[in-house]
């Protein structure tokens, strides 16, 4: 079975940067999509970004596409989310998730494996 562990969250000021990590174990992700989602208090879990593991193609939500970058390191079985120019609106628990295939990447209920989440708090 696949285990995903997020790390890298923290408390930062508006305009700062953070890099989140999602370490994967227990499975080969060559045919997988790895996504980042976030959930703020009182809101539904929303899509942030996703990457196809094998060739590295990416997709972003419009709210973050000019500021965030998703990438992966094959040697470490790790997916990263580089977050720049953070805003208070980015405050949320961030989750990484994985699934087979490439379609419906924006829909969290299509993912099979989830990490525990890491808190990102951006002060104004």
Distance CA 29, CA 53 (A): 6
Which pLDDT score, from 0 to 100, does residue 102 have? Answer: 79
What is the structure's pLDDT at 30?
82
Closest CA to 77 of 16, 124, 23, 34: 23
Average pLDDT of adjacent 10-residue blocks, the chain of 124 residues: 93 98 86 96 96 93 95 94 97 96 90 96 96
Write down the pLDDT at residue 26.
82
CA torsion, ordered 43, 44, 48, 54, to nearest 10 deg? 160
pLDDT at 119: 98
pLDDT number for residue 57:
94
Q: What confidence score (pLDDT) does residue 7 get?
A: 97
Task: Give the model's pLDDT for residue 47.
Answer: 97
For residue 46, the model assigns a pLDDT of: 97
Are the CB atoms for 92 and 120 separated by under 8 Å?
A: yes
């Amino acid at each position: 079975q696949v285990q995903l562990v997020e790390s890298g969250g923290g408390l930062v000021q508006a305009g700062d940067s953070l890099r989140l990590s999602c370490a994967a174990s227990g499975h080969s992700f060559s045919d997988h999509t790895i996504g980042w989602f976030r959930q703020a208090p009182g809101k539904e879990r929303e899509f942030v970004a996703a990457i196809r593991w094998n060739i590295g193609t990416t997709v972003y939500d419009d709210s973050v596409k000019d500021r965030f970058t998703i990438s992966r390191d094959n040697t470490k079985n790790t997916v990263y989310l580089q977050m720049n120019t953070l805003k208070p609106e980015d405050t949320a628990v961030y989750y990484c998730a994985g699934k087979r295939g490439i379609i419906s990447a924006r829909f969290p209920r299509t993912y099979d494996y989830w990490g525990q989440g890491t808190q990102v708090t951006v002060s104004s």
